[in-house]
Structure 1
Amino acid sequence: MKLGVFTVLFSDQTFDDMLRYVSSKGLEAIELGTGGFPGDAHCKVDELLNDETKLQQFKQKITEYGLEISALSCHGNALHPQKKIAKPADELLNKTIRLASKLDVPVVNTFSGCPGDHEGALYPNWPVTPWPHDFQEVLKWQWEQKLIPYWKDKNDLAIAHNVKIGLELHGGFSVHTPGNMLRLREACGPAIGANLDPSHMWWQGIDPVEAIKILGRENAIHHFHAKDTIIDQQNMNRNGLTDMTDYSEMRDRAWYFRTVGFGHDVKTWADMVSTLRLMDYDYVVSIEHEDGLMSIDEGFTKAVENLKPVMVKESVGEMWWA
């Protein structure tokens, strides 16, 4: 397994400075944003798709620093009911898949998207309760008319380009649990899998170790994020897990993100890494930093320090003891 980072947190640095800094920390992989929510500070899709010389220079520079690209990420909502939002997200996803293929990057990360509740809707509708039954009708329409047709098409596009799609299981989007991840994969195809981020499991009440088992048995983990979450039980009792308190108001939130090891202990992270290997995931653990209590440098550095000792670097080979 390899340790990497989602470089969006270094968006204020030049490409060279970012590569130099990440390499100095002993990391082996980078996840690059190509636009959408992550931005494209270090990876300009159109430029790289249309200029072979720049593409080769881009690849060479990453190699010079001893790094590889674990994934290209273009998180957005390509199923947003407003076409002016959905269309650019869809076009970016298509371009990112093409670029990943040209760069020999095996995974493109994004969100599943969330449609509205009818063709004339203006905003996404995220049903999270089965009653009143109106919500069941909304959910049925979303999956049958929007989600499955869209992701069937993207599954085929990804396969044609020898790329896998990692959907981040994130609240507010239609695919946010291991269960509905597997539902979409079964309906659309094997190129669709998870970019599994344990931080979003914890606040939904899902044990990430068990999520790894559920998805891993179906070979449905395409990429893995390393980000932590803390639950403030007093605020959880008041606001519930679907807390709408702004992220900036951390004292009043039911949960908020932390750097690795500051929401759950290192043993918990060791258990996750071990379970990933148990489920035959032997790829990159990509650090994502969204901790409102630590600077980027401190939070990132502590995540690296906490993860390095628990990474499994060497496979067993022959079972010599039995």
Structure 2
Amino acid sequence: MQIGLLTDSLSESTWAEALDAAADLGVETVEIGLGGEHGGWSPAPHADVQELLRDAGARAALARDITSRGLRLEAFNAAGNPLHPRHGDRDAAVLRGALQLAQDLEIDTVVTMSGLPGYPGDVVPPWITTVWPPENLELLDYQWERAVEWWGPIAEDARARGVRIAVEMHANQLVYSVPGLLRLRAAVGDTVGANFDPSHLIWMGADPLAAIRALEGAIHHVHAKDTRIESPAAVSSRPETIPNPRTGERAWNYVAVGTGHPDGVDFWVRFVAALRQAGYDGPLSIENEDYTLGQRESVALAVETLRAARALEEVR
């Protein structure tokens, strides 16, 4: 497995600075966030999706910037809610643009999220996580019908382009757990698989290693991102609405890879082993959202942890 980097993790750096840092730290592949002012959730600090779509020279320059540093472009990230009742069309356009760019640049993976529809008349989509009151299941059935109807043609388009779609299981999305991911995949085909990010599953109470085993053969991409459960969770529970930067008050925090678990690197050794046993041998793409460390410091710690985990897993 290669050590990768979602360059949004170095959003405070210029494009050249981010690539130089990646190369200096021993990163092997890069993933680029798309969207920004055009839609989606990435701040897109390093690439303009519309410029890349219309300008072959810009695409060539981007590829040259990456390969000249000994790196490989592995994926585009088009995270957003393409099913949102108000701005879904903008987020969907970013996803479609990412699929086109992946084909143009001959990369095979686009990372995104499932989206979450509203009910007719809604302006904000409701996230259904319980079966009661009874109208919850009625709404959930509608959301799945809408999602499958939308995702079917998108999956067909991706398949025709030779591109896989890696859906991240994330809160406030229709697909937030392994059963949801497998349900969407069964409905629209195996072009859709998982972007396996353990950090979200950890705070929602899942076992990431069991989740990997349940997704054998269905993991298209991996985000290396860590979560630490904090002591307030014992009283407040894990659903959390305190803003991320207020780390000392929260029930859980996103932290640098290697600092979320009491056994440190040992968790990541088991993580790498589980991925290999599930048939995944692609990049471990670092995604940094640690609010207590500088961006480069957090990425460097992640690289160190993953390098150690990879080496230890190989000798066990």
For the aligned pair, the TM-score class normalised by the smaller chain equals over 0.9
AA paired with 1:136?
A: L
Partner of 2:115: 113
2:128 counterpart of 1:130: no
Note the alpha carbon deviations across 1:124-173, whole angstroms, 9 max, x for none: 100111111111111011101x1111111111011011101111111111
CA contact (8 A) 1:261 1:306 kept: yes
Give, in angstroms, the shift of residue 243 of structure 1.
Answer: 2.0
Note the alpha carbon deviations across 1:62-92, whole angstroms, 9 max, x for none: 111111112100111111111xx11110111
Give, in angstroms, the shift of residue 41 of structure 1.
Answer: 2.1
Alpha-carbon distance in structure 1 between the residues aligned to 2:246 and 2:26 = 34
Partner of 1:229: 227
2:62 counterpart of 1:64: no
AA paired with 2:114?
A: S
Give, in angstroms, the shift of residue 312 of structure 1.
Answer: 5.7
Partner of 2:14: 14
Alpha-carbon distance in structure 1 between the residues aligned to 2:83 and 2:45 = 24
Partner of 1:52: 56
Partner of 2:77: 73
CA contact (8 A) 2:5 2:29 kept: yes
RMSD value, Cα = 1.7
Alpha-carbon distance in structure 2 between the residues aligned to 1:246 and 1:2 = 33
Alpha-carbon distance in structure 1 between the residues aligned to 2:243 and 2:5 = 26
CA contact (8 A) 1:274 1:312 kept: no
SS in structure 2 at match of 1:203: helix
AA paired with 1:276?
A: L
Give, in angstroms, the shift of residue 281 of structure 1.
Answer: 0.6
Identity %: 37
Give, in angstroms, the shift of residue 239 of structure 1.
Answer: 2.1
Alpha-carbon distance in structure 2 between the residues aligned to 1:136 and 1:279 = 32
154-163 or 32-41: bigger deviation: 32-41
AA paired with 2:88?
A: A
| Runs of 4+ deviating beyond 3 Å | 312-316
Counterparts of 1:80-91 in structure 2 under 5 Å?
Answer: 80-82=84-86, 85-91=87-93
Counterparts of 1:166-185 in structure 2 under 5 Å?
Answer: 166-185=166-185
Listed as ranges, the gaps of 5+ residues in structure 1 are 317-322
Alpha-carbon distance in structure 2 between the residues aligned to 1:221 and 1:175 = 14
SS in structure 1 at match of 2:159: helix
Alpha-carbon distance in structure 2 between the residues aligned to 1:315 and 1:298 = 26
AA paired with 1:65?
A: R
- Indicate which of 212, 217, 220 corresponds to 2:218: 220
Give, in angstroms, the shift of residue 315 of structure 1.
Answer: 8.5
Counterparts of 1:233-312 in structure 2 under 5 Å?
Answer: 233=231, 235-264=232-261, 265-311=264-310
Alpha-carbon distance in structure 1 between the residues aligned to 2:270 and 2:30 = 23
AA paired with 1:263?
A: G
Note the alpha carbon deviations across 1:16-43, whole angstroms, 9 max, x for none: 2221111011110011011121122222
Partner of 1:320: none
Partner of 1:151: 151
Distance 1:168 1:312, change over 3 A: farther
- When the two structures are superposed, what TM-score results if normalisation uses the length of structure 1? 0.92
CA contact (8 A) 1:111 1:169 kept: yes
- When the two structures are superposed, what TM-score results if normalisation uses the length of structure 2? 0.94
Partner of 1:101: 103
Give, in angstroms, the shift of residue 53 of structure 1.
Answer: 2.4
Q: How many residues align?
A: 309
Alpha-carbon distance in structure 2 between the residues aligned to 1:248 and 1:11 = 16
Note the alpha carbon deviations across 1:270-312, whole angstroms, 9 max, x for none: 0000111111211000011111111112111111111111126
CA contact (8 A) 2:165 2:193 kept: yes
Partner of 2:204: 204
Partner of 1:319: none
Note the alpha carbon deviations across 1:200-242, whole angstroms, 9 max, x for none: 11111111111111112xx211100111111124x22322222
Listed as ranges, the gaps of 5+ residues in structure 2 are none
